[in-house]
Chain A
Amino acid sequence: MTRTLLRPRTLGLVLLGLLILGFPYFNTMFEFMSGWPVLGWLLDPFRVFQAMRFGVWLIVLMGLNLLTGYNGQISLGYAAFVAVGAYVAAILMTQYGVHVIPAVVAAGAFTGVVGFLVGAPALRLSGPYLAIATLALVIALPQVLKHDLVSDWTHASQGINFYEQGTPPVTPGVLEDRVATNQWLYYCAIVPAVIMTVLAWNITRSRMGRAFLAVRDTELGAEHMGVNVALYKMTAFGISSFYAGIGGALFVFTEAVLGPSTFDVMMSITMLVMIVLGGLASILGSIFAAAIMALRVDIVDKVVNLIPRGEEFRIDSLRGAIYGSLLVISVIAGPWGLAGGLRRLPRIRDRLVAGKFRFLGVSGMVYTAVRPFLLRRLRGAKSADPSRQGGTEARDEPHQEGGDTHRR
């Protein structure tokens, strides 16, 4: 027993678990650290709220990554499924007095079934045709939600205000004096997030996950190996919608008001952008994606503050430009997303030293500028580590195309 516990992997997981569980209490426990550079930032009480949003986004983006990253079906209509989950959960809780847990599970299951069925007509479509057909769902959604036939449930354009119409999600009686409401909400989001992450980890490493990848890489090949392409494509739609439903249901807590325009085209597009930045077809990538999603306003704020502001130079109206440029730069600089970049780090270092990188455009200019400096650093590091010297390039090259799980 003790030996199992002391294994690095187990120990790491236990530590991570403690970190996640204790996070909302750290700001009071480690108050003396609040002035410290990085830790101080983490200990701001606002981070608990942000961590809650991170948890919700993690579930949502994980689902999209299963569909788009693992199964290769590009969906611009994912926000519509999130909306379905959110509305089902909110209606169940505010109008039928259903308890939180069954409401969230029901929302997930319902959305999953809807997604599985939507997956059927999507079978014939691929690439941009599929993307635009799914985009149709999210464009048509507001008018459907506002339609008179359903307005008794959805309250048309007023939307559903969960905190006014429903029971606010207060801490259950037993824990009332130990757990504050915002801490309780954090657990409401983070516990499902952990469960769904473990689930996704297991799905992607099972027969089903391998089938998803095979269908993405070559449909014909997968079919010849006996994979039921249609079934797995629909299943991918169903599972990702299940994630969207659960995530959407939890949105009810983070967004005070649920309206027909909460889930718009922009949200769909942003989610797709985030999973590409985080890393497609990767659990870690989804985690990065959720972190960027939850922190993106902060990140843009930080960059805006770096630029000196004058009377004439209206920097605040350039926020969009800064956000967009960050997207452009990160796609050019790290085409495989954060998670892919991490995995490639050793190989990237070898290629940098060998001067084998081909950078084009803007990134090329930056690279030429920093290369001498980089080389000095890397060569120094390399000669100190003789085991890495020689042969690395020759060994890595053949993997270049074949080992690349992201390229399609």
Chain B
Amino acid sequence: MGEFIQQVAIGLATGSIYALLALAIVLIYRSTEVVNFAQGEMAMLGTFIAWSFLNQFGYWQAFILGIIAAALLGGALERVLLRPVEEGPVLNPVILTIGLFTVLNSVALWLYGGDPKPFPAAPPFRGGPLEVGSVVISRANVGVFCTAVVLMVILYVLFNYTKIGLAMRGTALNRTAARLVGIRAGQMLTLGWALSAGVGAIAGMLAAPVVALSTNMMFAVILFAFAGAVLGGLTSPMGAILGGLMLGVIQNLAATYNPTSSPIDLPVAFLVIIAVLMIRPTGLLGKRAVRKV
């Protein structure tokens, strides 16, 4: 039993990285209905920017600067590149983000080189692993997990109890109607992207001590973040966290308790996703999209 709990804890640790990035994906999807393939690379670039500030500033200053830089980048990308393709066929924004993915990755490689860089954990989460009963877990992972939960609460409050949140939800629901009641829909979309890029950068900076900061640090993570977001429901921030965590746990348990002789964690994890989608086609907590005909 102790072994089982330990494995669940490790799964939660991996899952919380997926969850944070999934949260960023959901933020963009909610406001613009674009599945952003460049999300991981935006997070990676934000982390690299924070890393380059680490030499001159303390950890927290660099952390904040990284978030701001990523948010500016995200907002600018939406305003300059995404806006023109919004009116065309639905697949075009997706293709555009795939193009961005390649561009950002290559630019980061050009600017910072291919070797992994050391990135410190946030000060409260440094030091040796925590021991709770028989379960051992690293402090950096606890940090990612706590941040994911805190961010989710903040976003929940932002979306449900503030005027800006209401305006963003309105824009996502019906852009024309939002414009008619005086919401600047364009600004809300830019804000959505900036917010999401900021959350992504936090994900990147917290994941960097765990997975090592390099230009391809997000390659594997982003796919699982997508899967987690879809599992939880692309419209629900809470679902994103839940989906990401579940995916991490399932993957880890499937790797530990594997009756066959070769690894099967990926097929098992994805069978679970497909099974869940069969029962709930819009994810665990996603709202069913109601279409007017």
Contact = CB atoms under 8 A, between A and B. Distances in A.
Interface of A: 68, 74, 121, 124-126, 128-129, 131-133, 135-137, 139-140, 142-144, 146-149, 151, 218, 220-221, 265, 269, 272-273, 276-277, 280, 314, 317-328, 331-332, 335-336, 359-364, 406-408
Contacts of B90: 408
B4 to A, nearest CB: 23
Contacts of B230: 128-129, 132-133
B264 A317 contact: no
A159 B106 CA distance: 30
Contacts of B262: 143, 146-148, 151
B96 A332 contact: yes
Nearest to A156: B262
Given A332-B85, A408-B89, A128 B234 contact: yes
B84 interface: yes
A362 B101 CA distance: 18
Contact of B274 (A133, A142, A321, A360): A133
Interface string B102-114: 1111110110000
A332 B84 contact: yes
A281 B126 CA distance: 54
B92 A317 contact: no
Interface in B55-101: 79-81, 83-85, 87-92, 94-96, 98-101
B263 interface: yes
B174 interface: no
Contact of B110 (A149, A321, A331, A362): A321
B134 interface: no
B274 A121 contact: yes
A140 B254 CA distance: 13
Contacts of A147: 260, 262, 264
A318 B109 CA distance: 8
B227 interface: yes
Nearest to B34: A128
Contacts of A326: 99
Contacts of B35: 128, 131
A144 B266 CA distance: 9
Contacts of B267: 140, 143-144
Contacts of B120: none
A292 B263 CA distance: 37
With most chain A CB atoms within 10 A of its CB, the pick from B89, B267, B274, B283 is: B89
A401 to B, nearest CB: 11
A124 B223 contact: no
B91 A318 contact: no
A319 B223 contact: no
Interface residues of B, number: 55
- Complex A-B, nearest 9 residue pairs according to Cβ-Cβ distance, in ascending order: A320-B106, A327-B99, A324-B102, A335-B88, A324-B103, A136-B270, A360-B84, A321-B106, A328-B99
B6 interface: no
22 contacts: A74-B91, A124-B281, A126-B281, A131-B35, A136-B273, A143-B265, A144-B267, A146-B262, A273-B95, A276-B92, A276-B95, A318-B106, A327-B96, A327-B99, A328-B81, A328-B99, A331-B85, A332-B96, A335-B88, A360-B83, A360-B84, A361-B79
Contacts of B94: 272
B81 A324 contact: no
Contacts of B281: 124-126, 129
Given A129-B230, A135-B223, A149-B260, A359 B84 contact: yes
Given A135-B227, A323-B102, A336-B88, A317 B110 contact: yes
Interface of B: 29, 35, 37, 79-81, 83-85, 87-92, 94-96, 98-107, 109-110, 223, 226-227, 229-230, 234, 260-267, 269-271, 273-274, 277-278, 281-283, 293
Contacts of A137: 270
Contacts of B227: 132, 135-136, 139
B96 A331 contact: yes
B85 A133 contact: no
A331 B95 contact: yes
A76 to B, nearest CB: 9
Given A128-B234, A143-B263, A321-B110, A336 B89 contact: yes
A129 B283 contact: yes
Contact of A280 (B89, B102, B103): B89
Given A326-B99, A361-B81, 4 more contacts: A129-B234, A131-B35, A221-B293, A327-B96
B85 A327 contact: no
Contacts of B87: 335
B106 A324 contact: yes
A381 to B, nearest CB: 27
With most chain A CB atoms within 10 A of its CB, the pick from B94, B227, B229, B271 is: B94
A68 B102 CA distance: 23
With most chain A CB atoms within 10 A of its CB, the pick from B91, B262, B267 is: B91
Contacts of B293: 218, 220-221
A269 B98 contact: yes
Contact of B223 (A139, A273, A277, A317): A139
Given A121-B274, A125-B277, A361-B81, A140 B266 contact: yes
Contacts of B109: 317, 320
A333 to B, nearest CB: 9
Contacts of B283: 129
Contacts of B103: 320-321, 324-325, 328
Contacts of B102: 320-321, 323-324, 327
A327 B95 contact: yes
A133 B104 CA distance: 26
Nearest to A322: B106
Contacts of B106: 317-324
A369 B167 CA distance: 37
Contacts of A144: 267
B21 to A, nearest CB: 14
